[in-house]
């Protein structure tokens, strides 16, 4: 709220499952995707969007995984803002985890 940001991509949210939370005091709606509740709380991505802009979303953010999420915000006329939020695995992660992340990100970019 202090920086007056309209849309912020969030990473390392450490929240379980998938959800939405409206925070009226600061005026933001939070959307997130994390791992299943049975998994340790690590990674996680999401968005914080000003409440006045939420009605301009074409759909709720699409959570590809706990590392990749997208949203499509209608601007004026036929103009849209497509945002991809990504939380890349660090160097110490396995090659399988890194490969999976980059495959998800590539698919996401093709769609947008």
pLDDT (tens, 9 = 90+) of the chain, 112 residues, equals 788 899 999 998 888 889 999 998 889 999 999 887 777 777 899 999 999 999 888 888 989 999 999 999 888 888 888 999 999 998 999 999 999 999 999 988 887 6
Is 85 inside any structural domain?
yes
- Alpha-carbon torsion (82, 20, 24, 14), positive or negative: negative
Residue 101 domain flag:
yes
Asked if residue 2 is part of any domain, the answer here is: no
> Taking Cα atoms as reference points, which of 55, 103, 64, 102 lies closest to residue 83?
64
> Alpha helix locations (H) across 49-94?
51-54
Contact 73, 80 (CB under 8 A): yes
On whether the CB atoms of residues 35 and 66 are closer than 8 A, the answer is yes
Specify if 103 maps to a domain: yes
Provide the residue range defining the domain that includes 12: 7-111
Give CA–CA dist 40/52, Å, rounded: 34
Of the chain, the end-to-end C-alpha distance in Å amounts to 28
Residue 1 within any structural domain of the chain: no
Which pLDDT score is estimated for 112? Answer: 61
Q: How many domains does the chain have?
A: 1
Note whether residue 91 is domain-resident: yes
Q: Is residue 81 situated within a structural domain? A: yes
């Amino acid at each position: 709220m202090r920086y007056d940001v309209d849309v912020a991509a969030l990473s390392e949210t450490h929240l379980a499952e998938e959800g939405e939370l409206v925070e009226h005091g600061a005026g933001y709606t939070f959307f997130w995707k994390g791992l299943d509740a049975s998994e340790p709380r690590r990674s996680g991505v999401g968005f914080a969007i000003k409440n006045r802009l939420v009605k301009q979303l074409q759909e709720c953010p699409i959570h590809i995984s706990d590392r990749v999420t997208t949203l499509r915000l209608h601007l004026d006329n036929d103009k849209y803002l497509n945002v991809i939020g990504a939380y890349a695995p660090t160097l110490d992660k396995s090659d399988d985890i890194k490969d999976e992340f980059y495959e998800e990100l590539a698919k996401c970019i093709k769609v947008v």
